[in-house]
Structure 1
Amino acid sequence: MDAFTAGLLQRIQTTESDLTKARETGDDFLADVEQGELDDLHRLAAEHGVHIGATSV
């Protein structure tokens, strides 16, 4: 796995965790921000052929 793929997968995992925490604490604004970031990361992964597998969110 190259550094780009590893970094992207790590960012996705971190963002999913942050999104879960925002939802659990009821922080709707932060949840929206994290969801937008996650959507962007998924788009970037798709554009570069990075398979992200199942997500927890």
Structure 2
Amino acid sequence: MDAFTAGILQRIRAAESDLRAALESGDDFLAEIEQSELDDLHRLAAEHGIQVSPAMPRTTAA
């Protein structure tokens, strides 16, 4: 695994963790920000052929 792939996967794991924390704390605004970051990282991974298994389903914070 190259450094780019490892970095993207690490950032995805961090964003998933941050999203989980935002959801658990009830911070809908932060959850939206973290979900956007996670979506962008998944898009970037797909553009570079990096396979990512979704750990969390996409949220729809109210």
- Shorter-chain TM-score bucket reads over 0.9
* Counterpart amino acid of residue 25 in structure 2: T
Which residues of structure 2 form unaligned runs of 5+? 58-62
TM-score normalised to structure 1 length:
0.94
TM-score by length of 2: 0.87
Question: In structure 1, what is the Cα distance between the partners aligned to 2:22 and 2:45?
Answer: 23
Runs of 4+ in 1 over 4 A off after TM superposition: none
Q: After the TM superposition, which residues 2-41 of structure 1 pair with which residues of structure 2 at under 5 Å, given as runs?
A: 2-41=2-41
More helix by share: 1
Count of matched residue positions in the alignment of Structure 1 and Structure 2? 57
User: Percent identity among equivalent residues?
Assistant: 67
Give, in angstroms, the shift of residue 53 of structure 1: 1.9
**Letter of the 1:15 counterpart:** A
Unaligned runs of 5+ in 1: none
After superposition, where does 1:35-54 map in structure 2 within 5 Å? 35-54=35-54
